[in-house]
Amino acid sequence: MSAKKNLVAATMLAGTVTALSFMSAGTAQAQGALVMYCGVQEEWCRAMTTAFERETGIKVSMTRKSAGEVYAQVKAEAANPRADIWWGGTGDPHMQAAEEGITDEYKSPKMGELQDWAVRQWEQSKGRTVGIYSGALGFGYNTELAQSNKIGEPKCWADLLKPELKDEVQVADPNSSGTAYTLLATIVQIMGEDKGFEYLKALHKNVNQYTKSGAAPAKAMALGETTAGIAFMHDIVTMVVDKAPVKVVAPCEGTGYEIGSMSIIKGAKNLDNAKKFYDWALTADAQKLGAEAKSYQVPSNKSTPVPPQAPKLADIKLINFDFAKYGSSAERKRLLSKWDNEVKNLP
């Protein structure tokens, strides 16, 4: 089949899948269904879907999207919500949605089992989003390409500006990706806004592609498509576990981190099932599925074992990330539009 026909067939198929999931959402209440927007890696999203269906008999219609994309979709659908639960992805768009009132308050009976940082996220959002995992931002490099491109061993954010890395750094677009928005907010907090934007403009010269999803640069590094990539350290660890020639770096200047979050959509048609999922997703057993799906974040339930592969937060120079400020609607909109105007459109 030609590439064009392939595209047409794929588009028709996508239309059919959307129509089917729309029908199932419409008849959802009677059959016991749940519509979930999922913000982590596809493998973990699928593992959560299957396990919850098996445990409860509730049929889950799941769509995986990056953090900023889920936010945009939830906002666009606010008058007639299609989804019930938004599980995973960085906390900033969950916080923004909370402030804008498009997600709902809920206090789970499981709150007492959670780490303080997860509860703080819930308190700061006035009960509209809760922390489900945490992980630090960093970068990585393909050791074979680093050797052939003679870039040495990058250790600091500053090293990513070296001329030897021209067109050899990959990172996502912060409008779609929570990972890349975490980078934007991290650099501004470490360097101050003026110097931070100077840094991002200089970095732009070395960027070969702004991807849609935050984990794509980690995969591209593993495949030898880019020498360096900026991503959450746990996403790069997944590549190392799969034996890719990739090294993970915790930047010497310090780095930011995420509180991956979960929210119930305001006006959810399957509200009881959304609460069932919410309570279940906070249990130690459900959170163990992350490591099984090769996602190595730090889980928010105190009884979930921290995967041995997870980057040790205590060994990383973490900044005092201001989640309330950088998750606020005004600040997120302002920084993203400044990045679009001053960085993305540079030649």
Which residue, chain included where needed, has tokens 């390409």?
Answer: 145
| Interface with ligand PLP in residues 23-52 (CB under 6 A) | 39-41
With contact defined as beta carbons under 8 Å apart, do 141 and 227 qualify?
yes
**Binds ligand PLP by CB under 6 A, chosen from 97, 160, 172, 282:** 172
Identify which of residues 41 and 142 has a Cβ nearer to ligand PLP in the complex. 41
Identify which of residues 176 and 273 has a Cβ nearer to ligand PLP in the complex. 176
What gap in Å lies between CA 292 and CA 94, rounded to an integer?
25
Minimum CB separation from ligand PLP for residue 283, in Å?
19
Minimum CB separation from ligand PLP for residue 258, in Å?
5
Q: What is the DSSP letter of 166?
A: T
Structure token digits, residue 13: 């198929």
Q: What is the DSSP letter of 308?
A: T
Max distance between CA atoms of the chain, in angstroms, equals 62
- If you write DSSP's letter for every residue of 249-290 in order, what string do you get? E--TT-B-EEEEEEEEETT-TTHHHHHHHHHHHTSHHHHTHH
Q: Does 66 bind ligand PLP (CB under 6 A)?
A: yes
Closest CA to 312 of 92, 134, 143, 115: 134
Minimum CB separation from ligand PLP for residue 230, in Å?
11
Identify which of residues 43 and 253 has a Cβ nearer to ligand PLP in the complex. 43
SS3 of residue 36 by DSSP: strand
Minimum CB separation from ligand PLP for residue 295, in Å?
5
Minimum CB separation from ligand PLP for residue 9, in Å?
26
Q: Does 307 bind ligand PLP (CB under 6 A)?
A: no
CA torsion sign, 39 to 73 to 172 to 130? negative
- CB closest to ligand PLP, residue no: 214
What gap in Å lies between CA 51 and CA 253, rounded to an integer?
40
Minimum CB separation from ligand PLP for residue 140, in Å?
14
Radius of gyration of the chain (CA): 20
**Binds ligand PLP by CB under 6 A, chosen from 49, 61, 90, 121:** 90
Q: Does 178 bind ligand PLP (CB under 6 A)?
A: yes
Minimum CB separation from ligand PLP for residue 150, in Å?
30
**Binds ligand PLP by CB under 6 A, chosen from 96, 230, 235, 237:** 235
> Of the listed pieces 211-219, 243-251, 266-274, 280-288, which binds ligand PLP according to CB under 6 A?
211-219
| Interface with ligand PLP in residues 237-296 (CB under 6 A) | 258, 260, 295
Q: Does 173 bind ligand PLP (CB under 6 A)?
A: no
What gap in Å lies between CA 102 and CA 105, rounded to an integer?
10
With contact defined as beta carbons under 8 Å apart, do 76 and 101 qualify?
no
Q: Does 139 bind ligand PLP (CB under 6 A)?
A: no
**By CB under 6 A, how many residues form the interface with ligand PLP?**
23
**Binds ligand PLP by CB under 6 A, chosen from 25, 67, 118, 239:** 67
With contact defined as beta carbons under 8 Å apart, do 206 and 166 qualify?
yes
> Of the listed pieces 15-23, 121-129, 231-239, 281-289, which binds ligand PLP according to CB under 6 A?
231-239
Minimum CB separation from ligand PLP for residue 181, in Å?
8
Backbone angles phi, psi at 153, to 5 degrees: -120, 95
Closest CA to 260 of 130, 97, 75, 115: 130
Interhelix angle 91-99/116-124, nearest 10 degrees: 30
Identify which of residues 67 and 169 has a Cβ nearer to ligand PLP in the complex. 67
Which residues contact ligand PLP (rule: CB under 6 A)?
39-41, 66-67, 88-90, 135, 172, 177-179, 213-215, 232, 234-235, 258, 260, 295, 297
